[in-house]
């Protein structure tokens, strides 16, 4: 491990997750924990077919399952069981609880076993990752970080009285259970907003959204009065639907870091232009592809149909732009259809179902311009189209405000575990054992006394080991 500061300096900080209460003590983990390093299983005997014994590698720690199996015997001392604590020793240093079945422990992963007489296992798990992160942050970024078991055993871990450790664990589990419940409810909000927007589009594209706006509010079995199903090609002038350059006309080697913008598949989302990925071609190359130019207000339609229709209105860009072959540009007749209205119609579930039917069975479902031209959409009078667009965007704006508030709350909830842990390890989350014992009028084992008990146990263990060694020498 290559540290940018000394090991002792890392833990000079006594704030955040490295804090302790004044009544606590610290102890090197090697005095209250046992570390078992993984076994160097030979990779030539690994397989992914499920034959042999499952093997835990670093990449498996957070998944709780492994797809690696070993054709050979696994020594019993290297078998990991559900609930064991494991630490990845390369890359990101993090301790986690194994939630999978029995498996062999591979090298560069270690198992750590706290002595529950002195250090509560769950208290250790709640606290250790703050210390591992401190080591991670102090590790040189030039190479991949490597952690040794000796470094783990040197960590000066906080040591409250054992009764206080257990009360902290009970309180933390209760709080984190509430946080998990909150996150589960928040996940439902996101799903509800998605369905809300989808229902708005569905109502708009069927005429239900503007039923109160029309003088004739009746709805027949298919469409309202004044609405008509029309093929897309009826709404466009000649050349109003075109795609980008194919094949050798535009190659990856033509791409530059600046110049004329190329609109690609990854830029097209559902009703949203994604500006994160920027690709350019030179002005000279653009002159040969000028007929594929797209402009602000054009409808950009992604030719690949996967889980949804991806279509959006192109915003103002800082440079000229062309569409790539996998993106279609749509310029309808403005007197027949509002571009935003058409975009919403194209993104509807009905349009998606119709397009998917056209490419049924394809490995990579792709629509061509001929299929797109024949797509039927519901068209209403132009003034109603504009009313529909206004109503959709008003309701979407409401959904956006709800989503913005939801995300702000989500960020607060995401920060909560860290702040709760910091408070817990400052000794502020529950009453200290000293405070509780004073209120209840009883005696208690202090952290200092616990430390003395640990020293006595280690001394006794050393005496027993020397006695065994002496007996062995005498027999020899």
The CA distance from 303 to 264, in Å, is: 11
Arithmetic mean of pLDDT, 204-226: 77
Give how many domains the chain has, as a whole number.
3
**Pair (210, 279) in one structural domain:** no
pLDDT tens-digit series, residues 32-52 = 999 999 999 999 999 999 999
Domain that includes residue 335, residue range: 228-379
**Pair (145, 7) in one structural domain:** yes
pLDDT at residue 4 is higher than 90? no
Instruction: Note whether 29 and 157 are within 8 A (CB).
Output: yes
| Residue 187 domain flag | yes
| Sign of the Cα pseudo-torsion (350, 351, 352, 355, in order) | positive
**Closest C-alpha among 92, 88, 91, 70 to residue 79:** 70
pLDDT tier for residue 363 given thresholds of 50, 70 and 90: low
Per-residue model confidence (pLDDT) at position 476 = 64
The CA distance from 235 to 229, in Å, is: 11
pLDDT at residue 5 is higher than 80? no
| Residue 462 domain flag | no
Per-residue model confidence (pLDDT) at position 360 = 66
**Pair (244, 389) in one structural domain:** no
Q: What is the token pair recorded at 201? A: 């589009």
**Pair (235, 370) in one structural domain:** yes
The CA distance from 293 to 323, in Å, is: 7
| Residue 450 domain flag | no
Final residue of a structural domain among 328, 351, 379: 379
CATH number at residue 334: 3.90.220.20
**Pair (36, 126) in one structural domain:** yes
pTM here is 0.74
Instruction: Note whether 265 and 326 are within 8 A (CB).
Output: yes
| Residue 459 domain flag | no
| Residue 474 domain flag | no
**Pair (359, 239) in one structural domain:** yes
**Pair (12, 148) in one structural domain:** yes
**Pair (212, 248) in one structural domain:** no
pLDDT tens-digit series, residues 278-302 = 999 999 999 999 999 999 999 999 9
**Pair (350, 260) in one structural domain:** yes
**Pair (234, 209) in one structural domain:** no
Final residue of a structural domain among 141, 158, 175: 158
Arithmetic mean of pLDDT, 256-265: 94
pLDDT tens-digit series, residues 388-446 = 999 999 999 999 999 999 999 999 999 999 999 999 999 999 999 989 999 999 999 99
pLDDT tier for residue 101 given thresholds of 50, 70 and 90: very high
- Residue 116 burial (CB count, 10 A): 14
Per-residue model confidence (pLDDT) at position 357 = 87
| Residue 292 domain flag | yes
**Pair (6, 141) in one structural domain:** yes
| Residue 465 domain flag | no
Per-residue model confidence (pLDDT) at position 130 = 94
Per-residue model confidence (pLDDT) at position 2 = 65
pLDDT tier for residue 144 given thresholds of 50, 70 and 90: low
Share of the chain above pLDDT 70, in %: 96
- Residue 447 burial (CB count, 10 A): 25
**Pair (291, 367) in one structural domain:** yes
């Amino acid at each position: 491990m290559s540290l940018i500061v000394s090991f002792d300096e890392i833990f000079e900080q006594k704030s955040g997750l490295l804090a302790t209460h004044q009544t606590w003590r610290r102890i090197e983990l090697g005095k209250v924990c046992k570390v078992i390093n993984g076994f160097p299983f030979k990779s030539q005997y690994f397989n992914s077919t499920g034959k042999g014994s499952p093997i835990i590698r670093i990449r498996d720690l957070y998944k709780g399952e492994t797809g690696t199996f070993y054709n050979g015997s696994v020594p019993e001392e290297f078998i990991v069981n559900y609930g064991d604590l494991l630490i990845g020793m390369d890359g990101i240093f993090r301790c986690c609880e194994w939630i999978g079945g029995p498996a062999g422990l591979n090298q560069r992963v270690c198992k750590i076993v706290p002595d529950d007489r002195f250090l509560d296992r769950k208290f250790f798990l709640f606290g250790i990752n703050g210390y591992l992160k401190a080591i991670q942050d102090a590790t040189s970024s030039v190479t991949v970080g490597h952690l040794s078991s000796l470094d783990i055993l040197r960590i000066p871990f906080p040591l409250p009285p054992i009764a206080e450790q257990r009360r902290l664990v009970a309180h933390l589990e209760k709080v984190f259970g509430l946080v998990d419940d909150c996150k589960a409810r928040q996940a439902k909000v996101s799903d509800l907003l998605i369905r809300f927007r989808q229902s708005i589009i569905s109502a708009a594209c069927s005429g239900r959204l503007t039923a109160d706006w029309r003088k004739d509010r009746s709805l027949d079995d298919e469409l309202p009065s004044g609405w008509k199903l029309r093929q897309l090609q009826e709404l466009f002038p000649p050349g109003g639907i075109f795609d980008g350059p194919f094949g050798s006309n535009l190659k990856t080697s033509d791409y530059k870091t600046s110049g004329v913008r190329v609109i690609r598949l990854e830029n097209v989302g559902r009703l949203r232009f994604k500006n994160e990925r920027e690709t350019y071609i030179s002005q000279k190359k653009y002159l040969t592809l000028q007929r594929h130019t797209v402009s602000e207000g054009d409808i950009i339609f992604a030719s690949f149909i996967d889980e949804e229709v991806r279509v959006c209105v192109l915003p103002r860009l800082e440079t000229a732009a062309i569409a790539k072959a996998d993106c279609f540009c749509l310029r309808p007749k403005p007197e027949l259809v509002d571009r935003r209205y058409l975009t919403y119609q194209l993104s509807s579930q009905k349009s998606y179902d119709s397009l998917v039917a056209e490419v049924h069975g394809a490995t990579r479902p792709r629509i061509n311009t001929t299929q797109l031209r024949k797509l039927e959409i519901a068209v209403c009078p132009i003034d109603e189209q504009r009313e529909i667009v206004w109503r959709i965007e008003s309701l979407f704006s409401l959904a956006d405000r709800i989503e913005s508030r939801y995300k702000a709350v989500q960020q607060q909830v995401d920060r909560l575990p860290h702040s709760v842990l910091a408070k817990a390890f400052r000794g502020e989350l529950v009453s200290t054992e000293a405070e509780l014992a004073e209120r209840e009028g009883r005696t208690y084992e202090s952290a200092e006394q616990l430390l003395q008990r640990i020293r006595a146990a280690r001394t006794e263990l050393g005496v027993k080991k020397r006695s065994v060694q002496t007996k062995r020498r005498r027999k020899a």
